[in-house]
Amino acid sequence: MDNVMLKSKDVTLLEILDRVLEKGVVISGDIVISVADVDLVYVGLKVLLSSVETMERLRGAPFAGAGEEPT
């Protein structure tokens, strides 16, 4: 059961990353303070959880397929 719990938590984080890092209201230009390190955070996290396929491969088991409620 622990495995299943961890699974849905990882998956939720992946789904959050997909949205929060790339979508939403994107304001560009010099009005927004650019923080150099943030790009590295983006890259780091994306590498960590680069794709669903990778996650699935590492896990070696299919997704539960149940609805994931972000918390």
Residue ranges that bind another protein, judged by CB under 8 A: 11-13, 15-27, 31-33, 35, 37-38, 41, 45, 51-53, 56, 62-63, 65-71
Rounded to the nearest 10°, the torsion over CA 39, 40, 43, 45 is: -110
Instruction: Work out how close the CB of 54 gets to another protein at its nearest, in angstroms, rounded to a whole number.
Output: 9
Instruction: Work out how close the CB of 47 gets to another protein at its nearest, in angstroms, rounded to a whole number.
Output: 12
Q: Give the number of other CB atoms < 10 A from CB of residue 11.
A: 19
Instruction: Work out how close the CB of 28 gets to another protein at its nearest, in angstroms, rounded to a whole number.
Output: 10
Per the CB < 8 A criterion, the answer to whether 49 and 13 are in contact is: yes
